[in-house]
Chains A and B, each alone.
Chain A
């Protein structure tokens, strides 16, 4: 096991296989459809990037949705002005989000702890409100930024005749709807995971963890800690920009609500639920939350009656009444309970649960060896 974990290529092979076969193994639990798979991949990228900041340095940013939103807008503008090809849009999204993260990070990182969190939250809410009102010429305010037939699309205009109706996003000639869209996002997820794996195992990553452990000691050890923190902040901002760009690539529409604080909170929730500071944890968190969001919220009263059809009538009535608040639009209640249970009993998230189970087994093995 230890040998396996130290070989990065083996990890990447297994990871890629698991991600690329998701449409197959997620189908039995009703999650194998493209729309949800795309969400898994896109939010996975977001959480991986967030974990580089929060997991390694311990700086809790409450404003990462701002970078997601900025990335989305940047990508849609690239579709409107340049081309419907997603590659420039994604590069553009990452660069703009990176610059934005550099600005916000530079100011927010003057403080640490709760004050840092509040500063990032304030910046994200400012961005949200600006996108909603003052910046309407850029963001199209409440309606959200959409493609229009009259958009210039300079590069496309040079090569193609304008098609009938609204053009679709594409990766050169590949369309990005359905499973193609998922595989396109999955490729970025795999690449993003690889980069995160390298960062976790680099001297740079070790230094970030040392900053989390004892920042003062780092300064007296000859490191200027702020540039390290800022680098981590920008990297995770660019991951969020990439996620935002991919959101627009699969559905070319960007709205201000993507920047709202609830969206930032969701990122934090996913990371903590899965396991902060672990490589896979945040992805598990994304999987769990997005699955529940899409599956639990689709269950309604009649579905509940179907599930409990085997029960006697009186009992069925009682069961449905009890479970009703936890499904459908009340799925947040389930999420909240789940989050509380995990945080109270497994502060290290779902990953801690796994490592406890693994520890249980290895202890058994040792005992067995002792018997001989």
Chain B
């Protein structure tokens, strides 16, 4: 393995997040290397989604810092973190249901080009050929181009997830966070997603992926961190994790894999 560059892109240091008496994240430390696919696994309630929420500015940690690309991003607003280069695929697809599929992808492409605010009420959308071109390119890649004029809300759940992935990819983020990208998918859809993830792996984009499906994890991940009760209990290559008795006990169970 080791497609990484050795440079740290995301660093989570001593992060604590409390919900009432519950310490959802308890002294969490995590380092993500640039260019790798880093999987986070762990039992339900281990704090995986909370960790992503802290990374994208949805939640502010009670203690500790998150550093992205050399800058501290704790306390920054979601759109600032996105503009810095972090995109996220949510667990339940977050798309623009009332707009067409093409428009859904054009919007993040516009965000990538124009920044967080641009007032251009008299420009024609139909003349933004660069944006449409970018969007079409990604739709082609994810095999969504045939339905580009359909309402996004009318799609199947699997397609919605693929659309959301397209929306993130069109922004060419430095870091892509994926929250269970195959949850609730049929087997063939899962395999298709694995193919896509492998494809985009070649572009050198750093990815953090939360996943329950071990088949997905071991097919795409370069490194795996195991999260339990709010902190990392083990970290290593897929082979190291498979053989780690602590992990087997905490999460995989004795007969897994």
Which A residues contact B (CB, under 8 angstroms)?
A: 6, 195, 198-199, 201-207, 209-210, 212-214, 216-225, 227-228, 231, 235
B85 to chain A: closest residue by CB: A222
* 9 A-B pairs with the lowest CB-CB distances in the bound complex, closest first: A222-B82, A222-B111, A213-B96, A213-B98, A224-B116, A204-B121, A219-B78, A199-B121, A217-B94
Cross-chain contact of A222 among B58, B95, B112, B122 (Cβ < 8 A): B112
- CB-CB under 8 A from B56, the residues of chain A are 220
Give 14 A-B contacts (CB < 8 Å), ordered by A residue.
A195-B121, A199-B122, A202-B120, A202-B125, A203-B118, A214-B95, A218-B107, A221-B111, A222-B108, A222-B115, A222-B116, A223-B111, A224-B116, A235-B121
Q: Given that A203-B110, A228-B117 are known contacts, is A217 also in contact with B82, CB under 8 Å in the complex?
A: no
Please state if A224 and B88 are interface contacts (CB–CB under 8 Å).
no
Once A199-B121, A203-B125, A228-B117 are accepted as A-B contacts, the answer to whether A223 and B96 lie under 8 Å apart by CB is no
B79 touches A210 (CB 8 A): no
Give the chain B neighbours of A216 by CB distance below 8 A: 94
Q: Is the CB of B108 within 8 A of A204?
A: no
Contact between B107 and A198, CB atoms less than 8 A apart: no
Q: Are A223 and B116 touching (Cβ within 8 A)? A: yes
A354 to B120 CA separation, bound complex (whole angstroms): 31
In the complex, besides A204-B123, A212-B98, 13 extra interface pairs with C-beta distance below 8 angstroms are: A195-B121, A203-B118, A204-B119, A209-B98, A210-B96, A213-B96, A217-B96, A219-B79, A220-B82, A221-B79, A222-B79, A223-B116, A225-B79
Q: Mark B99-138, 1 if CB is under 8 A from A, else 0.
A: 1000100111011101111111111111010010000000
B residues whose Cβ falls under 8 Å from a Cβ of A: 56, 58, 77-79, 82-83, 87-88, 94-99, 103, 106-108, 110-112, 114-126, 128, 131, 167, 171
Residue of A202, A212, A221 with most chain B CB atoms under a 10 A cut-off:
A221
Contact partners of A207 in chain B: CB under 8 A: 107, 110
Q: B79 contacts A224, CB within 8 Å?
A: yes
Q: Which residue of chain A lies nearest to B84 when distances are taken between CB atoms in the complex? A: A222
Give the Cβ gap from A139 to chain B, nearest Cβ, in Å. 32
> Within 8 Å CB of A199, what residues of B?
121-122
Given contacts A199-B121, A203-B110, A231-B119, is CB(A224)–CB(B77) below 8 Å? yes
From A204, A209, A219, A220, give the contact of B120 (CB < 8 A): A204
